[in-house]
Chains A and B, each alone.
Chain A
């Protein structure tokens, strides 16, 4: 048969068409996918029956109720508890990523003893027995030398039984050097204490307010108990309530608020007093409250009328006098207004007078303990252990002055950890022999990171209780890893800003995955090893029995419901609320030498000619900026206008950027009086001119590859500014300059 050109082509085309119509191509594609995909290293998760365990999340002070989906003994997902009064079903992205912390590579899996140089990351795995006897030996030696005050402790939590046990340990041991955290919650509580005489948590009745005026508080950026605040802000639409956000850049909160008032950063308190001026001048305040329940109003009025006129306030804040008057009128005419303080997430306490100004504004409209207003909550006061009996060594040690200087200011603030490091720098002779760090990461969270690191290195013996290999743990001599929150019992009292008396219960949903121990058990064990009066102060067999005994009659209900809430308690009326000596609300605070309003405007440090711009850190819900950093899923959500590869992106007003010849996405050098870093710039139409804004929560040097080495820690660029009234860190920013790299 002759194959000519025509039949060859016909055969070829016909063959191709025939193959295409046959099942062969489909079979081949199917086989191809099977051959290319069945790799043995793609995991097949073990299946089983689904059940839910409830607990309380402790990744932030929000205290949300969580429901953990379990397959057998394996937790597979964290969801919000629908029947929980705080978060009512929602969860935040951090809570949703919680299991990544549980099984992540940065967990400390066993007690570790440093073998290499400090911070080198060379460890020997040791047993709990060896670790505890080593620490007990060092502690005994301190007491034998008669200097128990050489032991100091920094903790990131100051509520609940774990904090109380730590504090008790320090007292029984004989040292006053127990430093809790200092956040905007603490500054607000200090302000409320000096103005009302009330000790205890402060809440905001956001769910019933018809006008929420936020002085820079990041309602949608992680302030308070985030899920609860998100719900309150989002459901205001149905309630026809309004949210007004005062902020120097358009935060997520400002973007979703009904109105955004841009003012110069750090002048929120001044604006509050400017509003007070208008309210007083136009007699818009609550006459009944001022006449019958307030003291010091005349002195307050005199200062506000003289120094905080709309024109003067406009000059400082940059808000127009008309806007100040309008805000004041709106605020005083709302039925249930509330003013909030604490910048961003509230990690920095700020000047005491700023919190006081916001409390005063709430008081002017009679918004204290009223529907939709500021709530003074009774201290749940369920921890009523007998005072530890101190032996002579402990008695003497407790007389020593505190190393953080708390107490040598007009208003006593419970802790000022930033000043601990400042004071050691000034006087190295006072360096403690042993520093214990629990649920805190000062090497990351405190201002002026470089200086803190240098000072920390002077301390001869550093003990960390961290569950994770964080910046501070990496410098430690000994790590006694705590259980992760899903592995342990803990009481979680007073969710930040929650408006009712509340105690949550965190409980183990999974057996400890590694060779870790509850910090409560570690302390009880240590106390036993130290014998004598210290052991006598810790008579509990273990932490769980301690917690059970402490909660007493509440325990069974908490075990069943996961929380205790006092639903019966209605807010105390003005008649009996104020525990000041006058029995009234003190506008200028009690025991102040002079009214506190002079220190309200904290200027940014630095010379304005060398540093013409102002650097402001900002908080974002997608970046955890506390002691525990982001989980990988969280970092995955960070947009590329914040992080590009390893480089942090700063936000700068488009016009300002033009003046410095900066282009979108291009590199620049950012310098402040404290440090200099290379950044990329994002030109923004949502930030005031003259500012450079950087997100908090990046720039970790520890943790895993999913977090370490990405971006810059804002604390490298800012130093603390000491508030003269309280000693709190009042720095909200610093002067800066930026140049094209």
Chain B
């Protein structure tokens, strides 16, 4: 067993779907931050690498009662029923993806990955993407690449890292300044920072002073299930114990987040 520091962080996100406008800035900010490649044709969404993807949900009603809701989906950074038992981490034969018990972030180490794609099959959120081709940056676009994130190569799986390199930079800065703890907004993901609607909040779910904790109100006795009645997690009943919480004042949206057959009921709001 790994030693778990008593001050271990559990970085997580709360996305307010009442505020999300579906503009897609989070997707682009993520691509720009993380050197995500792009191709001439990106309309086949199964092959389109988007660490953050905005989905469009609908209540399925006919005109004019139809409603939609946009749902941004980064990697959910599942903790599982016991620390580190994430669906993807459990199946990786190369330890290319791992659960960091210090931060709660599920990592992806590209140089270890040999492309078996078990993790993609295991991930219930389709948050993982495979590089079928080597990346190409046309013109002189290689010049804008961010040195803090290594460009990936053909044959490996990639996914959202909660901008872990930003955590590293923030921690380095804190270390230089002689601090052991980061301030609340010192480490933010690129999508959180960019969101023009202010729909995303990021912080330490373990820290009762952090906004994410206060909004989501994770219940430690039920693997972090939110106590806020408007909050939900995707596919709660799978027990993936994710660190991305969603807020919606609309009942049908919350139900859509826990998508089961009608006869199965819902786990998050029994």
Interfacial residues, chain A to chain B (CB-CB below 8 A) = 26, 29-30, 32-34, 36-37, 39, 41-48, 50, 71, 74-80, 87, 89-93, 96-97, 99-100, 102-107, 220, 226-227, 230-231, 233-235, 237, 250, 252, 255-256, 262, 513, 621-622, 632-640, 643-646, 653-655, 684-689, 704-706
Contact with A685, one of B42, B62, B146, B190 (Cβ below 8 angstroms) = B62
Determine the distance from Cα of A80 to Cα of B196 in the docked complex, in whole angstroms: 9
Whether B24 and A233, one on each chain, are in contact in the complex, defined by CB atoms closer than 8 angstroms, is: no
Residues of chain B within 8 A (CB-CB) of A636 are: 27-28, 31, 38, 42, 48, 50
**Known pairs A104-B139, A250-B66; A633 contacts B23 (CB<8 A):** no
Which secondary structure dominates where chain A touches chain B?
mixed
In the complex, 14 of the A-B residue pairs with CB atoms within 8 angstroms, ordered by the A residue number, are A26-B94, A29-B94, A33-B96, A33-B115, A41-B134, A45-B147, A80-B193, A230-B197, A231-B196, A633-B28, A637-B28, A640-B44, A645-B41, A684-B63
Q: Please give 17 more A-B residue pairs, beta carbons under 8 A apart, in addition to A93-B27, A100-B144.
A: A30-B112, A33-B94, A33-B114, A39-B154, A44-B150, A75-B144, A90-B198, A96-B32, A102-B144, A233-B197, A235-B198, A255-B22, A262-B64, A622-B24, A636-B38, A640-B44, A706-B138
User: What is the number of contacts between chain A and chain B, taking CB atoms within 8 Å?
Assistant: 217
Within B126-163, the residues touching A (CB, 8 Å) are 134-135, 137-148, 150-156
Enumerate the 5 nearest inter-chain pairs by beta-carbon distance, A residue then B residue, closest first. A90-B196, A105-B139, A685-B66, A45-B145, A234-B197
Which secondary structure dominates where chain B touches chain A?
loop
**Proximity string of chain B (29-72) to chain A, C-beta cutoff 8 Å, 1 when within and 0 when not:** 10111010010111111001010001010100111101111100
Residues of chain B within 8 A (CB-CB) of A689 are: 63
Determine the distance from Cα of A74 to Cα of B145 in the docked complex, in whole angstroms: 9
Interfacial residues, chain B to chain A (CB-CB below 8 A) = 18-19, 21-25, 27-29, 31-33, 35, 38, 40-45, 48, 50, 54, 56, 58, 61-64, 66-70, 93-94, 96, 110-115, 134-135, 137-148, 150-156, 169, 190, 193-199
Which residue of chain B has its CB nearest to the CB of A33? Answer: B114
Whether B45 and A685, one on each chain, are in contact in the complex, defined by CB atoms closer than 8 angstroms, is: no
Determine the distance from Cα of A645 to Cα of B42 in the docked complex, in whole angstroms: 8
Residues of chain A within 8 A (CB-CB) of B190 are: 77
Whether B196 and A226, one on each chain, are in contact in the complex, defined by CB atoms closer than 8 angstroms, is: yes
Determine the distance from Cα of A107 to Cα of B127 in the docked complex, in whole angstroms: 34
Whether B110 and A37, one on each chain, are in contact in the complex, defined by CB atoms closer than 8 angstroms, is: yes
Whether B134 and A640, one on each chain, are in contact in the complex, defined by CB atoms closer than 8 angstroms, is: no
Determine the distance from Cα of A584 to Cα of B65 in the docked complex, in whole angstroms: 44
Residues of chain A within 8 A (CB-CB) of B38 are: 632-633, 636, 706
Residues of chain B within 8 A (CB-CB) of A41 are: 134
A126 to chain B, nearest CB (A): 21
Residues of chain A within 8 A (CB-CB) of B115 are: 33, 36
Which residue of chain B has its CB nearest to the CB of A227? Answer: B196
Determine the distance from Cα of A231 to Cα of B152 in the docked complex, in whole angstroms: 35
Which residue of chain A has its CB nearest to the CB of B109? Answer: A33
Contact with B63, one of A39, A226, A653 (Cβ below 8 angstroms) = A653
Determine the distance from Cα of A493 to Cα of B147 in the docked complex, in whole angstroms: 35
Whether B144 and A103, one on each chain, are in contact in the complex, defined by CB atoms closer than 8 angstroms, is: yes
Which residue of chain A has its CB nearest to the CB of B141? Answer: A103
Contact with A37, one of B54, B70, B137, B156 (Cβ below 8 angstroms) = B156
A270 to chain B, nearest CB (A): 20
Whether B114 and A42, one on each chain, are in contact in the complex, defined by CB atoms closer than 8 angstroms, is: no
Whether B144 and A638, one on each chain, are in contact in the complex, defined by CB atoms closer than 8 angstroms, is: no
Whether A252 and B141, one on each chain, are in contact in the complex, defined by CB atoms closer than 8 angstroms, is: no
**Known pairs A250-B66, A653-B63; A93 contacts B147 (CB<8 A):** no
Determine the distance from Cα of A252 to Cα of B137 in the docked complex, in whole angstroms: 31
Residues of chain B within 8 A (CB-CB) of A634 are: 24, 28
Determine the distance from Cα of A621 to Cα of B24 in the docked complex, in whole angstroms: 8
Whether B22 and A77, one on each chain, are in contact in the complex, defined by CB atoms closer than 8 angstroms, is: no
Determine the distance from Cα of A90 to Cα of B29 in the docked complex, in whole angstroms: 11
A97 to chain B, nearest CB (A): 5
Residues of chain A within 8 A (CB-CB) of B27 are: 93, 633, 636-637
A711 to chain B, nearest CB (A): 10
Determine the distance from Cα of A97 to Cα of B194 in the docked complex, in whole angstroms: 12
Residues of chain B within 8 A (CB-CB) of A79 are: 29, 193-194
Determine the distance from Cα of A78 to Cα of B68 in the docked complex, in whole angstroms: 30
Residues of chain B within 8 A (CB-CB) of A227 are: 196
Which residue of chain A has its CB nearest to the CB of B22? Answer: A252
Contact with B43, one of A231, A644, A688 (Cβ below 8 angstroms) = A644
Determine the distance from Cα of A29 to Cα of B156 in the docked complex, in whole angstroms: 13
Of B19, B150, B190, most A-chain CB atoms within 10 Å: B19
Residues of chain A within 8 A (CB-CB) of B54 are: 637
Of B33, B50, B141, B190, most A-chain CB atoms within 10 Å: B141
Of B62, B139, B156, most A-chain CB atoms within 10 Å: B139
**Known pairs A33-B111, A686-B66; A91 contacts B196 (CB<8 A):** yes
Determine the distance from Cα of A638 to Cα of B23 in the docked complex, in whole angstroms: 10
Determine the distance from Cα of A46 to Cα of B141 in the docked complex, in whole angstroms: 13
Determine the distance from Cα of A513 to Cα of B69 in the docked complex, in whole angstroms: 42
Of B29, B93, B112, B145, most A-chain CB atoms within 10 Å: B29
Residues of chain B within 8 A (CB-CB) of A655 are: 63
Contact with B24, one of A77, A93, A235, A645 (Cβ below 8 angstroms) = A93
Whether B194 and A90, one on each chain, are in contact in the complex, defined by CB atoms closer than 8 angstroms, is: yes
**Known pairs A92-B25, A685-B66; A34 contacts B138 (CB<8 A):** no
Which residue of chain B has its CB nearest to the CB of A31? Answer: B114
Residues of chain B within 8 A (CB-CB) of A37 are: 110-111, 153, 155-156
Contact with A252, one of B21, B33, B93, B198 (Cβ below 8 angstroms) = B21
Contact with A234, one of B21, B138, B154 (Cβ below 8 angstroms) = B21
Whether B23 and A93, one on each chain, are in contact in the complex, defined by CB atoms closer than 8 angstroms, is: yes
Whether A635 and B42, one on each chain, are in contact in the complex, defined by CB atoms closer than 8 angstroms, is: yes
Which residue of chain A has its CB nearest to the CB of B21? Answer: A220
Which residue of chain A has its CB nearest to the CB of B156? Answer: A37
A344 to chain B, nearest CB (A): 14
Residues of chain A within 8 A (CB-CB) of B156 are: 33, 37
Residues of chain A within 8 A (CB-CB) of B56 are: 639
Determine the distance from Cα of A621 to Cα of B143 in the docked complex, in whole angstroms: 26
Whether B28 and A97, one on each chain, are in contact in the complex, defined by CB atoms closer than 8 angstroms, is: yes
Determine the distance from Cα of A105 to Cα of B66 in the docked complex, in whole angstroms: 42
B175 to chain A, nearest CB (A): 16
B16 to chain A, nearest CB (A): 8
